[in-house]
Amino acid sequence: MRRYLTLLAALGAVVLAAFLAACGPLGQNGADEATPEVFVADVSQTTGRNDELTAGTVSYLERVISRAAEEEAEAVVIELSTAGGRLDHTQDIVGLMGDAEQTPIFVYVTPRGSQAASAGTFILMGSDVAAMAPDTRTGAATPVTFFGGDIPGDLGEKARNDAVALITSLAETHDRNVEWAEDAVREAAAIGAQEALEIGVIEYVEPNVEALLEAADGITVEPKGITLNTAGATLVAQNLTFQERFGFSRWYVIVPGVLLGLLAIGFTFAAIKSSRARVSTGREGMVGEVGTVRRPVGKDGGLVFVHGELWTALPEEPQMAPIEPGTEVEITGFRRTAIVVRPTK
Domains with residue ranges and CATH for the chain: 34-247 (3.90.226.10), 285-343 (2.40.50.140)
Kindly list the distances between the CA atom of residue 270 and the CA atoms of 73, 143, 146, 267, 276, in Å, as whole numbers in the listed order.
Answer: 44, 21, 12, 5, 10
For the cut 50, the answer to whether the pLDDT of residue 254 exceeds it is no
Q: Which residue has the higher pLDDT, 8 or 159?
A: 159
For the cut 60, the answer to whether the pLDDT of residue 27 exceeds it is no
Backbone φ and ψ for 41, nearest 5 degrees, come out as -110, 120
Percent of the chain with pLDDT over 70: 75
pLDDT digits (tens, 9 = 90+) for 195-219: 999 999 999 999 999 999 999 999 9
pLDDT of residue 159: 83
pLDDT of residue 80: 95
pLDDT of residue 313: 85
> How many CB atoms lie under 10 A from the CB of residue 278?
15
Write b or e for each residue in 292-326: b if 16 or more Cβ atoms lie within 10 A of its Cβ, otherwise e.
ebbbbbeeebbbbbbeebbbbbbbbeeeeeebebe
Percent of the chain with pLDDT over 90: 48
For the cut 90, the answer to whether the pLDDT of residue 308 exceeds it is no
pLDDT of residue 46: 87
Give the helix/strand (H/E) hosting 220. Answer: strand 220-221
- 254 exposed, middle or buried (CB, 10 Å; 0-12, 13-18, 19+)? exposed
Q: How confident is the model at residue 79 (pLDDT cuts 50, 70, 90)?
A: very high
Q: How confident is the model at residue 283 (pLDDT cuts 50, 70, 90)?
A: low
For the cut 50, the answer to whether the pLDDT of residue 301 exceeds it is yes
Mean predicted lDDT score pLDDT of the chain: 81
Give the helix/strand (H/E) hosting 293. Answer: strand 290-295
pLDDT digits (tens, 9 = 90+) for 135-190: 999 999 888 766 566 677 878 788 888 899 999 999 999 999 999 999 999 999 99
For residues 122-127, give the mean pLDDT: 96
pLDDT of residue 147: 57
pLDDT of residue 262: 41
pLDDT of residue 135: 96
Give the helix/strand (H/E) hosting 312. Answer: strand 309-315
Kindly list the distances between the CA atom of residue 98 and the CA atoms of 59, 101, 127, 174, 265, in Å, as whole numbers in the listed order.
Answer: 16, 7, 8, 11, 37
